[in-house]
């Protein structure tokens, strides 16, 4: 008999939720983690009393009451709501696009919802001939017109993707939601917040009493680990699992530059996007504002988008036709692996928000644990 029912590869949200549910159902689990810490990309580290989001800012939001209750059963969440600011060449705008933004862009020409809509329609009219946008630039101009595109979309998106907007596929922006109210709350979801004490605490509590081995790459000793468990829950990169048999899947990566500053408030907001092309980073995150912090110092992080290489992390899947075709081949192979369940953003090659990952992991665990209920 094998010592474990499940070996869970990866201690991010997917792996941790699965491990928690399986353990609760009486299964024996072992979690393996390649990095030296648990939590995957939601990992936060306390520095100067501030929870620093080490792999990019994470704001929890969901409409799913079950998921919200689930996370709150581990830690309490605060009432933080994301209201990013855009800085375009020193001028500040509220995001997402709402009445504040329109007023900042056009003043009295857009100080009522009717006037703002008329102004946007006038801006869009110049691009009415674009009925089949061939790239992101054409798509954004057709949806928003010149002012919004040039000041708030173009530079930021080009930095994110590392190429001109005319070479970025149009499907990246399918629609641009405009809000004709003075409401800067980025997400529309009913439940929003940040776990008090950080995301790492959330994961620690999910993995409470479950053995975890960090700094260990499952793929480097796969046969050994496979011999120890009936089933593997794999949350790493799907192309790596199959030795990149059909080639690498592409990702965009990010480089983070963290700074501790000897002042208590640097930018007055957690998230400021730099939407011009000349500033090489895309955003500055000031972590303490996620928790309404009053510490004497502050920590900021500049985010620089970059190409994915062997040295840097895979962040955003590039779900274009070429990569999607490769992924489908891996998915086909994965479906033949009876003893492996593939889950999470890397194994499914899909951008998921945290609430989606939790919902998926709960569903996968429920199905799996029902099927194996009576197995000893």
- List active site positions: 175, 179, 252, 283, 303, 351, 353
CA 202, 206, 212: angle at the middle one, nearest 5? 110
Smallest gap, in angstroms, from Cβ of residue 146 to ligand FAD? 29
Interface with ligand FAD (CB under 6 A), residue from 7, 8, 13, 30: 13
Q: Any contact of residue 225 with ligand FAD (CB under 6 A)?
A: no
Binding mask 250-289 for ligand FAD (x = CB under 6 A): ----x-----------------------------------
Q: Report residue 65 CA to chain centroid gap.
A: 20
Cα–Cα distance measured from residue 157 to residue 146, given in angstroms and rounded to the nearest whole number = 15
DSSP percent split of the chain into helix, strand, coil, nearest 5: 35, 20, 45
* Size of the residue set binding ligand FAD (CB under 6 A): 34
Backbone angles phi, psi at 100, to 5 degrees: -60, -45
Q: Any contact of residue 235 with ligand FAD (CB under 6 A)?
A: yes
Q: Any contact of residue 189 with ligand FAD (CB under 6 A)?
A: no
Nearer to ligand FAD by C-beta: 59 or 148? 59
Smallest gap, in angstroms, from Cβ of residue 109 to ligand FAD? 33
Cα–Cα distance measured from residue 364 to residue 340, given in angstroms and rounded to the nearest whole number = 12
Smallest gap, in angstroms, from Cβ of residue 275 to ligand FAD? 17
Q: Any contact of residue 226 with ligand FAD (CB under 6 A)?
A: no
Interface positions, 162-181, toward ligand FAD (CB under 6 A):
none
Nearer to ligand FAD by C-beta: 41 or 279? 41
Determine the straight-line distance between the first and last CA of the chain, rounded to whole angstroms: 10
Q: Please, which residues have CB within 8 angstroms of residue 290's CB and are 6 or more apart in sequence?
A: 51, 53, 57, 59, 80, 194, 270
Q: Please, which residues have CB within 8 angstroms of residue 338's CB and are 6 or more apart in sequence?
A: none
**DSSP calls for 256-297:** EEEEEESSS-SSSSSEEEE-SSSSS-SEEEEGGGGGT---SS
Q: Please, which residues have CB within 8 angstroms of residue 14's CB and are 6 or more apart in sequence?
A: 40, 233, 235, 343, 344, 345, 347, 357, 360, 361
Segment interacting with ligand FAD (CB under 6 A) among 5-13, 67-75, 113-121, 257-265: 5-13
The answer to whether 294 touches 264, Cβ cutoff 8 Å, is: yes
Segment interacting with ligand FAD (CB under 6 A) among 33-41, 84-92, 150-158, 363-371: 33-41
Interface positions, 327-366, toward ligand FAD (CB under 6 A):
344-346, 352-355, 357
Smallest gap, in angstroms, from Cβ of residue 71 to ligand FAD? 11
Q: Any contact of residue 198 with ligand FAD (CB under 6 A)?
A: no
Residues in the chain: 376
Interface with ligand FAD (CB under 6 A), residue from 19, 22, 30, 42: 42
Give the residue from 336, 365, 330 showing the smallest Cα distance to 6.
365
Nearer to ligand FAD by C-beta: 113 or 197? 197
Interface with ligand FAD (CB under 6 A), residue from 6, 7, 8, 15: 15
Q: What sign has the CA pseudo-torsion 346, 135, 152, 119?
A: negative
> What 3-state DSSP class applies to 184?
coil
Nearer to ligand FAD by C-beta: 56 or 113? 56
Smallest gap, in angstroms, from Cβ of residue 125 to ligand FAD? 35
Nearer to ligand FAD by C-beta: 34 or 146? 34
Q: Please, which residues have CB within 8 angstroms of residue 192's CB and are 6 or more apart in sequence?
A: 59, 60, 61, 79, 80, 81, 82, 185
Interface positions, 298-317, toward ligand FAD (CB under 6 A):
315
Segment interacting with ligand FAD (CB under 6 A) among 40-48, 95-103, 168-176, 364-372: 40-48
Interface with ligand FAD (CB under 6 A), residue from 88, 161, 218, 330: 218
Nearer to ligand FAD by C-beta: 31 or 116? 31
Do β-strands 50-53 and 44-47 pair in parallel, antiparallel, or remain unpaired? antiparallel
Do β-strands 191-193 and 298-307 pair in parallel, antiparallel, or remain unpaired? unpaired
Binding site for ligand FAD (CB under 6 A): 9-15, 32-35, 40-42, 56-60, 217-219, 235-236, 254, 315, 344-346, 352-355, 357
């Amino acid at each position: 008999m094998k010592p474990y029912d499940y070996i869970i590869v990866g201690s991010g949200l997917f792996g941790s939720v699965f491990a928690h549910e399986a353990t609760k159902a009486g299964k024996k689990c072992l979690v393996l983690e390649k990095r030296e810490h648990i939590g995957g990309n939601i990992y936060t580290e306390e520095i100067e009393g501030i929870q620093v989001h080490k792999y990019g800012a994470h704001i929890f939001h969901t409409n799913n009451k079950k998921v919200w209750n689930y996370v709150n059963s581990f830690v309490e969440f605060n009432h933080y709501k994301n209201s990013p600011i855009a800085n375009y060449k020193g001028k500040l705008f509220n995001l997402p696009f709402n009445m504040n933004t329109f007023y900042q862009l056009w003043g009295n020409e857009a100080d009522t919802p009717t006037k703002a809509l008329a102004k946007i329609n006038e801006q869009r009219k110049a691009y009415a001939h674009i009925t089949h946008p061939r790239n992101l630039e054409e798509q954004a101009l057709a949806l928003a017109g010149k002012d919004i595109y040039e000041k708030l979309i173009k530079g930021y998106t080009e930095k994110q993707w590392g190429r001109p907007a005319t070479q970025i596929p149009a499907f990246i922006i399918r629609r641009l939601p405009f809000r004709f109210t003075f409401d800067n709350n980025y997400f529309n979801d009913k439940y929003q917040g940040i776990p008090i004490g950080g995301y790492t605490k959330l994961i620690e509590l999910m993995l409470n009493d479950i053995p975890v081995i960090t700094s260990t790459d499952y793929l480097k000793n796969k046969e050994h680990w496979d011999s120890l468990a009936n089933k593997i829950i794999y949350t790493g990169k799907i192309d790596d699992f199959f030795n990149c048999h059909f080639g690498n899947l592409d990702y965009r990566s990010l480089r983070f530059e963290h700074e501790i500053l000897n002042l208590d408030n640097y930018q007055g907001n957690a998230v400021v996007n730099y939407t011009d092309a000349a500033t090489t980073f895309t955003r500055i995150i000031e972590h303490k504002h996620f928790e309404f912090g009053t510490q004497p110092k502050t920590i900021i992080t500049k985010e620089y988008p970059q190409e994915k290489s062997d040295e840097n992390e895979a962040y955003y899947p590039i779900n274009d036709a070429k990569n999607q075709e490769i992924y489908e081949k891996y998915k086909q192979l994965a479906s033949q692996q009876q003893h492996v369940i593939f889950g999470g953003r890397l194994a499914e090659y899909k951008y998921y928000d945290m609430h989606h990952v939790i919902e998926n992991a709960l569903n996968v665990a429920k199905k799996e644990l029902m099927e194996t209920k009576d197995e000893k």
